[in-house]
Amino acid sequence: MSDRLANSPFAKRFGLTTPIALAPMALASGGELAAACAKAGALGLIGGGYGDPGWTQREYGIAAQALSTQPEAAAQLGCGFITWRMKEDRSALDYVLDRERPPAAIMLSFGDPSELARDIVARGVPLICQIQTMAQLPQAVDAGASVIVGQGVEAGGHGMKSAQGRSTFTFVPEIADWLAAHAPHVDLLAAGGVADGRGLAAAMTLGADGALIGSRLWATQESLAADAAIAEAVQAGGDDTARSGVFDILREKNWPAEYDFRALRNALHRKWENRLDELRADPEAAIADYKAGVAAQDYSRAHVTVGEGTGLISENASATQVIEAITYQAGNFFR
């Protein structure tokens, strides 16, 4: 591995061998995937998401057990949560913070982190804040973030709506310039469209200290995503994804208005993407159709949560293979 990767401030901060963090994807980044990423030298963030205490306890326990004989890797295990949901019920966050071994980091996304950040920072746990606009950056830094994640609209799952969101390519260097001038002690990760070593190298060339990787690690053998869903992602290209509110309505998720959801643009999505007001007004039949698709693993109706980087996914490999390949390819650009 090149010195540029090994000496990344983000890698050095967390004792990593590669400047990669697993995106804490709800219901996909479980304990097995987080542990595999930590063993491979990346930061393994469990997808605490909406804060289901039972799910978080089970998956965090799986990861902790898998890492119990590898103390260095165990020190690279953390968790991520949806900020606005934690303000409604933070019991899962408290469970992670109250563990005998504190998490390597807590990541907060989607909402003002200030209130939750006080407890996290006070316990000496590094705070990672994901942002989607420059206006959110000073707020995250003032809250005590050690790491900022700049998320572009290319990302899968939730993110800023396209009308207000930013491209990773221009967003990351603008954040980097602001941090250099105002908070040089804060590290920066790029998120959105980073799915191989070229993306990691590009992100670091633009000023990031590493990358938060979602879709590519979502499509791995350790992921909690269904094999059939991963198979759909492997066959898809970036043109096959769309960002809208369709799947939030179908999943009955009450997200703040500024955010929506990128996934494969399947038949059910196409049916409703230009009829959102109609869907919101009378969603029952469509929700039933969606739930039947989920139960049957029929991905013409059920969602497949990947971003534009899905066009760079060609196989369902192990997390170790993916991280090693990304690190090797990125390293070649800095030799």
Distance CA 230, CA 216 (A): 10
What pLDDT score does 129 carry? 98
Distance CA 311, CA 235 (A): 8
Distance CA 322, CA 213 (A): 11
Domain ranges of the chain: 3-225+312-333, 227-296
3-state secondary structure 102-138: CCCCEEEECCCCHHHHHHHHHCCCCEEEEECCCCHHH
CA torsion 155-161-167-172 (nearest 10°) is: -80
Element housing 164 (H / E): none
- Given a contact cutoff of 8 angstroms between Cβ atoms, the answer to whether 24 and 55 are in contact is no
What pLDDT score does 3 carry? 85
Which pLDDT tens digit goes with each residue over 135-151? Answer: 999 999 999 999 999 99
Distance CA 165, CA 191 (A): 13
Low-confidence ranges of the chain (pLDDT < 50): none
Distance CA 73, CA 159 (A): 29
* 149-185 as b/e: b if 16+ CB within 10 A: bbbbbbbbbbbbbeeebbebeebbbebbebbeeebee
What pLDDT score does 6 carry? 87
Distance CA 96, CA 90 (A): 10
Element housing 230 (H / E): helix 227-235
Of the options 3.90.180.10, 3.60.40.10, 1.10.3720.10, 3.20.20.70, the CATH number for the domain spanning 3-225+312-333? 3.20.20.70
What pLDDT score does 210 carry? 98
Distance CA 203, CA 56 (A): 31
Instruction: Report in angstroms the alpha-carbon separations of 334 from 15, 21, 161, 257.
Output: 20, 20, 34, 41
Residue count of the chain, please give it. Answer: 335
- Given a contact cutoff of 8 angstroms between Cβ atoms, the answer to whether 31 and 24 are in contact is no
**Full DSSP string of 232-259:** HHHH--GGGEEEESHHHHHTT----TTE
Element housing 179 (H / E): helix 168-182
The bridge status of strand 44-49 relative to strand 20-22 is unpaired
Task: Return the structure tokens found at 296.
Answer: 């049957």
Largest CA distance in the chain: 57
Which pLDDT tens digit goes with each residue over 69-87? Answer: 999 999 999 999 999 999 9
What pLDDT score does 1 carry? 61
Name the pTM for this structure. Answer: 0.97
